[in-house]
Amino acid sequence: MSSTESPDTATTALPVPPAGPGRPGAAEAVRTVNLPGLTLTVRAPEGRPEGRVDGTAGAPRDREPALYVHGLGGSSRNWSELMPLLADRLDGEALDLPGFGHSPPPGDGNYSVSAQARAVIRHLDAAGRGPVHLIGNSMGGTTATRVAAARPDLVRTLTLISPALPELRPQRTAVPTALLAVPGVATLFARLTQDWTAERRTREVLSLCYGDPARVTPEGFDTAAAEYARRLELPYFWEVMERSARALVNAYTLGGQHNLWRQAERVLAPTLLVYGGRDRLVSLRMARRAAAAFRGSRLLTLPEAGHVAMMEYPEAVARAVRELLDSEMTEVTADPGRS
C-alpha cells in the first residue's frame, strides 16, 4: 500500500494567522494522500528549521516523525500553533480525519472511533513513518489511544490533550455533544440556526472550547469564521458531525476489548496527559483517572486553559512535550533494546 498525491491537488503554502501577540504565523505545506476508499489531507510546517524555534542557540537535532490528530468538528489547522514550536525536534504533520477539514467522507461511510483509528494506521503504514510521536486532542485523543493500544509498533510516545474518554457523570456542557448524536437532531439544529452567521457560529464554538475566547487574535477569528463558512457549504457537514458524535457516544458504551479505559491500560508508549482547568467538555476530574490508567504517564494541568490547550497555551504544551521527548530519549539510551 502506498500514498500518492492527488494529481489535481498541488502542494501549496498557506499563510497561518498569528497564534498570539507578537508571534508571526508560519507557512504550511498541504498535500492530499489517496488510499483505497480513503482520501486524507495532510498539513505540515513548510521547510526545515535552521535553528531552535524557541530562539536558543544550537543546531537542530535529528528530527523524529510526529502525527497530530484533531477532535470532533476540528481540523489539521488546530495544530498550526503547536507544530512550529516543536519543528526543530519533530518532523510533524497533522491530518484531517475523514469528513473533516479538507478530507472528504470515507468511502464506507464509517465514522466510528475504530474506523478513525484505522484511517490513522493506514496512513502511517502507507507513509512508512512509524513509530511516531502521536499527539491527539479530544476525539483525536480517543482515536490516538486506540491506535497506541492496537499498534504499539507505530507509536513512540503518546500525548493526549483533553482526551474524550468516557466518564460516568459527564459535564452539563457536554450535553449538546450527546444530543448531536441523536438521529435527526443535527438536521434540526441546522434548520433552527440557518439564519446564524458564520461569525456567530464561530463565537459560540470558541466560547465552548476556549477557557478565555479573548485569547483568539482578530486574524485567528476571521480565519476560523471563513473556515466555518466554507464547511457549511459542504453537503455532508451536518451528517458527518451527527454520525461522528454518535460513534463517539457508542464507543463509550462498548465493552470487552473495545472498552476505551481498558485500551488505555494496554498502552505501552510513554504518555503525556494535558487537561485544562476551564474545560467545559472534558472535566478536569478525569485527569486523575487517566493518569492511573496510562501506566507511568505524565500529567500537565493548565488552570486557565479550556478544551484546546494546544491552541490557547501552545508554549506550555510544547515545553511539556519536549520534556517527554527528553525523558523518552534518556530511557532509550539507557536501554538500547527499546530503540
Read off the pLDDT of residues 16-25 as tens digits, 9 standing for 90 and up.
333 433 344 4
Superfamily of 4-52+61-338 according to CATH: Alpha/Beta hydrolase fold, catalytic domain (3.40.50.1820)
- In the predicted model, is pLDDT for residue 13 greater than 50? no
> Helices 237-253 and 113-127 sit at what angle, rounded to 10 degrees?
100
Q: Quick check: 160 and 270 in contact, CB under 8 A?
A: no
Is the pLDDT at 303 greater than 90, yes or no?
A: yes
Give the residue among 43, 71, 15, 37 at the shortest CA–CA distance from 219: 15
Residue 42 has pLDDT above 80, yes or no: yes
Share of the chain above pLDDT 70, in %: 75
Is it the case that residue 48 has pLDDT exceeding 80?
no
How high is the pLDDT of residue 244? Answer: 87
259/136: higher pLDDT: 136
For 224, the grid coordinates are 476560523
pLDDT score of 59: 36
* pLDDT above 60: residue 286: yes
Quote the distance between the C-alpha of residue 37 and its chain's center.
22
Beta bridge partners of 4: 34
The three cell numbers of residue 8 are: 489535481
Say if strands 38-45 and 28-35 run parallel, antiparallel, or are unpaired: antiparallel
From residue 178, give the alpha-carbon distance in Å to each of 21, 172, 182, 275: 35, 10, 7, 21
Amino acid at 128: G
- The pLDDT of 90-105, averaged and rounded, is 96
What confidence score (pLDDT) does residue 86 get?
96
Query: Looking at residue 204, what is its pLDDT?
Result: 86
Q: How high is the pLDDT of residue 301? A: 96
Half-sphere exposure of 268 (CA within 13 A, CB side): 9
Predicted pLDDT of residue 201: 86
Sign of CA dihedral 187, 188, 191, 192: negative
Q: What is the average pLDDT across 268-294?
A: 93
Note the pTM of the prediction, 2 decimals. 0.83
Provide the pLDDT for residue 130: 84
Residue 14 has pLDDT above 50, yes or no: no
